[in-house]
Amino acid sequence: MKPIILLDINGVLNPKLQSDDSSGGANPHLSDLKAALVRRLATKGRIAWVSTSSEAFVDSLEAQLQLGVDPLRVAITPEPDDEDQQTPKLGSVARWLNKMESEGDADWDAIVWIDDALGADVHDWAHLYHQPVLLEKPLPAEGLTEAHVVAVQVFINSEDRDRPPDGRPAAWDRH
């Protein structure tokens, strides 16, 4: 099996907005480098968008990327219990993962979460999660880089993902 790759957009892919004369709106456009990196990630596991961007915005990115498999989308729906979390998306992500598992739709054996806003609460959650978790936190100014994709590959290729090099259980943290 392959991991699910939870991928943020703003601060990670940093699409540029281009005017769209046909609809009167703005279309997001990824640089060739970012598009290539996302396509490489998509060969490593199933992409799931973890973004507050509009559905039309994400549709436009998907049309540009032309991935072989349509990415999943994690609904970011904050609940009252989420207000105290450092990472605003954590509650939504945890609920979505639980829902996918309970419905038998979780065909992955590990989780990769790439987001520029990952707080200490996500690291705590990752250490307790029942599957191996890799957390990648790009700098918002540069976003996703080759180093992040290589880290995902190293994580996937690890013979014992449950035992990262430092001996911690289940979670690999890189910043």
- Ranges 34-38, 120-124, 136-140, 160-164: which has the least confidence: 160-164
Predicted local distance difference test score (pLDDT) of residue 81: 81
Predicted model pTM: 0.88
* For residue 173, pLDDT beyond 70: no
Place of tokens 């957390």: 135
Selection from 115, 116, 139 nearest residue 7 by Cα: 115
19 phi, psi to nearest 5 deg: -65, 140
The yes-or-no verdict on residue 19 having pLDDT over 70 is no
Q: What is the DSSP string of 96-159?
A: HHHHHHHTT---EEEEEEE-S---HHHHHHHHHSSS-EEEE---TTT-S-HHHHHHHHHHHH-T
Please compute the mean of the pLDDT values over residues 64-88 and round it to a whole number. 89
CA dihedral 145, 175, 61, 79 (to 10 degrees): 180
Q: pLDDT-based confidence at 1, cuts 50/70/90?
A: low
Query: What's the chain's average pLDDT?
Result: 88
- Residue 73: phi and psi, rounded to 5, are -135, 125
Do 144 and 44 form a contact (C-beta atoms < 8 A)?
no
Rounded to whole angstroms, how far apart are CA atoms 87 and 161? Answer: 24
Q: Which residues of 77-111 are buried (b: 16+ CB within 10 A; e: fewer)?
A: eeeeebeebebebbbbbeebbeebeeeeebebebb
State residue 165's pLDDT score: 47
